[in-house]
Amino acid sequence: MEPTPFSRQNKARVLGAGETTIVLAHGFGTDQTAWRHQAPTLAERHRVLLFDHMGAGRSDLSAYSPRRYQSLRSYAIDLLLLLEELALEDVVYVGHSMSGMIGLLAAVEEPSRFRKLVLLGASPRYLDDVGYEGGFKRADLDGLYRAMQTNFHAWASGFAPIVTGNPDRPDLARDFAASLGALRPDIALTVARVIFESDHRGDLPKLAHPTLVLQSQADVAVPISVGTYLASHIPRAELQVLDATGHMPHWSAPEQVTRAILSFAASA
């Protein structure tokens, strides 16, 4: 039996047309619809690739295995297989949250597939360390895992407003809670552990591509110190701090994020 194409497993969609392909990769707890504010505008000038990571959105859950997806490198392999299947090279890759390091790992592995990277609210390590502020202490993460195991939907409802970080925009928390709640709880817990236990600080200097680090002014999941760390440890990176708060600036300040992507994609 022929293996299912990755484009079908990951529900890949291509919008628009143009010489440059912009790949939009979503973060934890969301799917490709997280880019609903950016994709139509970007597709007016460029070809845009959207997809769901395995275990998220409308991806083929029968292809998900916690043994296979034990690290972000597994998702990076998926990304490379998807780009290979679609014969895409020299793409502008935009990765939110967990997808930031997924794209970085993929670009280090196969540099020709990428031209530039945009890391939106990305982090190489979420756990605090000596001389490094990741944003979470060990007790924070252990409590998060327990809450997910005890009552997943109650956890999602409480976690969403903390992460979206815009109390005057309850719609953002409501949308994120619904997106989180749509995940299969066992997959969500496994993916959360993969993300929050990861440490890719050593991979940052290996990235040779021009990189834009987009960072909110206040993000409980990714402190601004992390954005500064990324920009100072990726050789060709620049940091842009958005006039936005929360971990979902592509929702809370969509026009800013879209403009930043278009400007960076067009720059020499």
Catalytic residues: 97, 219, 247
Where does residue 87 rank: exposed (0-12), middle (13-18), buried (19+ CB within 10 A)?
Answer: exposed
Q: Edge-to-edge, what's the strand order for the sheet holding 13-15?
A: 13-15, 47-50, 21-25, 91-96, 114-120, 211-215, 237-241
Q: How far apart are CA 176 and CA 48, in angstroms?
A: 23
Three-class DSSP category at 140: helix
Where does residue 138 rank: exposed (0-12), middle (13-18), buried (19+ CB within 10 A)?
Answer: exposed
**Is-contact 86 123, C-beta < 8 A?**
no
**Is-contact 253 243, C-beta < 8 A?**
yes
